[in-house]
Amino acid sequence: MNNDKIKSMKLYNFIDRVYNELKELGKEKSGDLSISELSSFDQLHYHGTEAIDYAIKKFNINEKSKVLEIGSGIGGPSRYIAQKTGASVTALELQNDHHKVGIELSKRCGLDNNVEHICGDFLTYDFKDNRYDTIVSWLALYHIPEREKLLDICFKILKSNGNFFAEDFAYHKPFSIEESQELSTDFFANYIVSYSGYVSDLNRKGFVSIEKDDMTKSWSEFTKLRFKAYQDNIERHIRVHNQDIVDNMLYFYSFAKRYLDGGKLGGIRISAKKE
C-alpha cells in the first residue's frame, strides 16, 4: 500500500497540528502527558473514546489480553486500551510520521511498556509467531486494497477463540465512477464493500459469530456536531494552528458530512470470532 498516496486524505496531513495542540497545553516538547489531555485530538474516528470502551467491554479486554490495532495513527486507541485495561497492545501504522509521533506520545504517557509501536504495511509485515486475543481497527481497513489477503492474515494471527473487530465504511448503494474517484482521493478509499459483502467476506474466511451494526445515522449526527463545533471555535483553531490547517480540517469534515448524508456511504461496526 502506498505510503505517499494516503496523504491525499486531508485528515492525515499537517502532523504539526499535534504539536500545536501540545504547545497549547504548555507541553510542546517535554512533560508528562495524560490520556485525557490527548483524547480531543488523538482519536481519529467517530465518538472518540466511547467507541474504544465499546470494544473493551464487548471482548473483555484486560491485563492478560494481547491486542493488535491495525492502522493505529498516532496511537490514541492503543494508548487508551493499554491505560484502561493494562493489556499489551501492538499499534501498527503505515505512515512513518504518525508512527513516530505515536511513539513519543506513548512514552510521555508512561505507556511505552504496554504499547509497542510498529511502522509497516499490514499486508507485508512479518508477524512471525505472534498471535493475538483481539484485533481491532477504527476507520482504517477500507484503506487496504487486498481484502482477501487482509482477512487471511487476520485469521492466521488470531488465537483460537480470538476476536476481530472493526469500525469501518461500507456502502448502502454503489457509487458512481466520479464518486469512487473522489472517495479514493479524499478518503483514500481502496475497498468499500456493501454491508452484506462485509459479512460474506468474513464468513468465507472461516470467521463465525459475526455481528454487525449500521452506524450511519450515529456517525452522520456526529459529523454535523463536529463540523459545527469546529466552526464555532474557528478563531481558537486559527490561533493555535494556522489558516491552512483550519481550511484543511474544514474541507475534510465537510466532505465526511456530505458523504454520510448522501445515502450511499455508511458506517459499519462489525465483529467476528475465530473458533
pLDDT the model gives residue 1: 60
In whole angstroms, what is the distance from residue 88 CA to residue 79 CA?
10
The answer to whether residues 228 and 48 touch, using CB atoms and an 8 Å cutoff, is no
Give the 3-state secondary structure of 143-199.
HCCCHHHHHHHHHHHEEEEEEEEEEEEEECCCCCHHHHHHHHHHCCCCCCCEHHHHH
Phi, psi of 214 (to 5 degrees): -85, 115
Domains of the chain: 5-273 (3.40.50.150)
Report CA Rg, the chain: 18
- At 230, list the grid cell: 469546529
Provide the whole-model pTM: 0.94
Q: What is the pLDDT along the chain (275 residues), one digit of tens a residue?
A: 655 667 665 566 678 889 999 999 999 889 999 999 999 999 989 999 999 999 999 999 999 999 999 999 999 999 999 999 999 999 999 999 999 999 999 999 999 999 999 999 999 999 999 999 999 999 999 999 999 999 999 999 999 999 999 999 999 999 999 999 999 999 999 999 999 999 999 999 999 999 999 999 999 999 999 999 999 999 999 999 999 999 999 999 999 999 999 999 999 999 999 99
